[in-house]
Amino acid sequence: METFSGTARIADALCAAGIPTYPIDVVLHDHHDVLDPAVEQCITKWLKDGRILFLWLGMPCTTFSRARKWDGLGPGPLRDEQNLWGLSGLRRTEQKAADW
């Protein structure tokens, strides 16, 4: 299972190699919300039943991504290794996004 799969590139590559893989992400389907207790219970049951042999947990890249950098091409970083809860000087909306 590829959790927080985004566009499911890992799942696609594994399926192409003949390894059945299930991607889960709200980007793919609204009902894939892992914060929904029913979705959490389903994943937990699959794990307990041995239906999932490998679980990939991708970090949501919206605020955690190393791709967020000061290059002028996109949004700048919200955190770094010393400021995991958010860099100082963030706008209110940026700080809200950095709060997890």
pLDDT tens for each residue of 68-88: 777 777 778 888 888 888 889
> Where are the domains positioned within the chain?
2-57, 65-100
Tokens of 23: 């991607």
The residues that bridge with 23 in the sheet, in sequence order, are 2
Q: What is the pLDDT of residue 21?
A: 94
pLDDT tens for each residue of 4-38: 888 888 999 999 999 999 999 888 888 998 889 99
Percent pLDDT > 90 in the chain is 39
Per DSSP, 50 falls in state T
